[in-house]
Structures are given as C-alpha cells and as structure tokens.
Amino acid sequence: MDLKETAEKLVRNHSLSEEEYLFLIENADEQTRNYLAEEACAVRDRVYGKRVFARGLIEIGNICKNDCLYCGIRRSNKTVERYRLKKDEILACAAEGYRLGFRTFVLQGGEDAYYSDAVLTEIIRELKKNYPDCAVTLSLGERSDESYEALREAGADRYLLRHETIDAIHYGKLHPAEMSHENRLRCLKTLKRLGFQTGCGFMVGSPYQTAEMLAREMKFIEEFRPEMCGIGPFIPHHETPFRDEKAGSVSLTCLLLSMIRLIHPHVLLPATTALGTMHPGGRELGIRSGANVVMPNLSPVSVRKQYELYDHKICTGEESAQCVTCLSERIRSTGCELAFSRGDFS
Ligand code: SAH
C-alpha cells in the first residue's frame, strides 16, 4: 500500500477498508498526518465554518456504582471525597453559563441512583423552561430504555455515551465482569432510536488497545454515524489498577481526529480536556486536526478537583468565566472562533 494514495482515497471517498485504516494508523508519517489534518479542517470548515462550538460542562456528581478500571471516580477508590449537586446547584451553574453565553449544557456524572428519572426529568424540564433556546446534553452512563425515553420526553436533546472500545474482549479488560459491552452498545442504539443526537467514543492508548482495534473503531464510526464522537488519550489515575500504565499519545489522537472528520464530515468532534492535559497546546492541536467542539467546565470550583477521572486534569482551579476567556484566545490562535450558538448536528 502507498501512504499518499491511501490518504487521498480517504479524502475522496470518506471511507477505507479496515486494512487501509490500519495501514494509515501504523504508518502515517509527518507529511501524511499534516495532509490529513489540513484536509480534515477544510472539510470541517465547509460544513460548519471556522466555528468551534462551546458546550458548558456541569459535572453533577462523582458518586458511581461502577468500577471501571481506568476511572478515578470508580467505586473502589476510597480516597476521593464524593459529592453530588442538587437541582438548585445545577441550575445555578447553568445560569452562570447562560450569562457567559453558553447555549448547550452538558450534565455529566457517575452512575448514581440518586439521579432517578424523577429527579433528572425535573432538572431537565426546569432547564428547558428557563432556557428554551438551549440544548441539554446528558452524559450519565447506562440506563434502561424506559429511563432514556423519560429523559428524552422531558426535553433532553443529546446524550454522550462513549462505548470505550469496539472490541468486546478488550472491553472486558477495562471493566469489571458485571459490566457488559453488549449493554453499552444496546444503550447507544436505543439513544439513537429515541432521537437523541448521540455521541459515542473511545480512549486512545487505553491498556491492551491495539492498532487493529483502532482500525475497527474507524469502521464502526463509518457505520454507526454518531452525531458526536468523543476521543481523548487515556491518562492513568494513581488510585486505579492502571496507575502504572502509560498514557495515550497526543499525535495518535490527532491523527484519529483527522480520520474521523474525514470519514464523517458532519460529526461534532471535541478537542477534549484529556488532550489538553497531555500537552499544553493539546486542544489547539485537536482543533488543527479537525475537531470543532470544546467543553469548558461550568462546575462549581469547590468540587472540580473531586471530579478527577485521571491525574493532573487541567482547568480545575479557574472560575468558569476565566475558562471562557482562556479558551477563546486559544481557539483564535488556530484561526477559528469560539461559537456559542447551539451548534446542532446538521
Ligand atoms: N459515567 C458516564 C460519564 C463517564 S466520564 C459514562 O459512563 O458515560 C466520561 C469519559 O471519560 C468516559 O467515557 C471515559 O472515556 C473518559 N475517562 C475516564 N477515565 C479516563 C482516564 N483515566 N483517562 C482518559 N479518559 C478517561
């Protein structure tokens, strides 16, 4: 196979065979990566313009019944101080976010039975009543079909649920036996069927991940066509079984961002906080690779350090307003503009 030809084929056809994806992932040199990044940005600009959409992230709680081996808020981590935001605190974060210009609120958290359908639907209804011009995105893990339906009914617009890996055996190495890959994928299908703009995604460089798996990830995105796709480097957390594993690479993440953009031109693709944690200009590099979403933190500063999914997470000390100013400068440095519109999939 030829690098230049394969890269050009991806640009032309928005699709490659799994073998060709693998070839790019394993062999792309500097020149090929730059070419793919430039073409990815050109495709993004054609669809959405030079806009990077802002999503206000509210980390509603770190109490979690799950024990994902990579995650700093897994239930076995006895050293983390647990918190949960009540309705009024969440609404206060959203009010501040709205004042700052945000028109999407993302409620993310651990799987905590406190956030029943009754509790969540009340919060969603209130958000939609106060801010009818805003989108509400949820990222609260696996729930029943009925529960997703109730949340959708209450007005939630989008749902982020990374599948974490496309390989069922790999999934089993990242999660305890009581969790299942099958259920994770079932949830994604349900979310799509219910009309949520649906986000899947995976960590780059998680333990036991291979290049072959990443090639399959590309095929999966091509076929599932999620409205959103979250990818970021795996970063070890010192209180997890993966404390001594090595972190995922920034350059591989950027290559995959470019490939995903080229496969699925309309996808909403965040330059993640994990990418910004691995490299001081990580989010800018992500945007230069074809990403078009950032998710600054609107959580109360008092709890930010407690939502520590991985070590050295950035932006845990600043006020929300400071995060906006800082990010908008960073985005301008890439030739794009921070956009506060709802930024729906189109
Ligand atoms: N409980 C929700 C939200 C999870 S946190 C859910 O299950 O969807 C959001 C994402 O952070 C996860 O899906 C995972 O991909 C990522 N994440 C968790 N631990 C991480 C780590 N150590 N390094 C990098 N990303 C991590």
- Please give the backbone phi and psi of residue 56, each rounded to the nearest 5 degrees, phi first: -85, 115
> Can you give the pLDDT at residue 245?
98
> Can you give the pLDDT at residue 22?
98
User: CA-CA distance, 115 to 70, in Å (whole number)?
Assistant: 23
Q: Pocket around ligand 1: residues whose beta carbon is below 6 Å from it? A: 70-71, 108, 110-111, 139-141, 161-162, 164, 203, 232, 234-235, 237, 274, 309-310
- Report how far apart, in Å, the C-alpha atoms of 148 and of each of 117, 160, 188, 270 are: 9, 12, 10, 23
In sequence order, the 6+-apart residues with CB closer than 8 A to the CB of 118 are none
> Can you give the pLDDT at residue 93?
98
> Can you give the pLDDT at residue 43?
98
User: CA-CA distance, 296 to 231, in Å (whole number)?
Assistant: 16
Topology given in CATH for the domain delimited by 17-339 = TIM Barrel (3.20.20)
The tens-digit pLDDT sequence of the chain (346 residues) is 999 999 999 999 999 999 999 999 999 999 999 999 999 999 999 999 999 999 999 999 999 999 999 999 999 999 999 999 999 999 999 999 999 999 999 999 999 999 999 999 999 999 999 999 999 999 999 999 999 999 999 999 999 999 999 999 999 999 999 999 999 999 999 999 999 999 999 999 999 999 999 999 999 999 999 999 999 999 999 999 999 999 999 999 999 999 999 999 999 999 999 999 999 999 999 999 999 999 999 999 999 999 999 999 999 998 999 999 999 999 999 999 999 999 999 9
From 58, 67, 70, 277, the mutation candidate for ligand 1 (largest count of ligand atoms within 8 A of CB) is 70
From 71, 114, 311, the mutation candidate for ligand 1 (largest count of ligand atoms within 8 A of CB) is 71
From 140, 161, 203, 249, the mutation candidate for ligand 1 (largest count of ligand atoms within 8 A of CB) is 203
Which residues are paired to 203 by β-bridges?
A: 232
- Classify each residue of 290-325 as buried b or exposed e, where b means 16 or more C-beta atoms within 10 Å of its C-beta: bbbbbbbbbbbeebbebbbbbeebbbbebebeebbe
Interval between CA 240 and ligand 1 midpoint (Å): 13
* 313 within 8 A of 27, measured Cβ to Cβ: no
User: CA-CA distance, 238 to 9, in Å (whole number)?
Assistant: 42
User: CA-CA distance, 261 to 79, in Å (whole number)?
Assistant: 39
In sequence order, the 6+-apart residues with CB closer than 8 A to the CB of 321 are 100
> Can you give the pLDDT at residue 180?
98
Atom of ligand 1 nearest to the CA of 108: 3
> Can you give the pLDDT at residue 213?
98
> Can you give the pLDDT at residue 51?
98
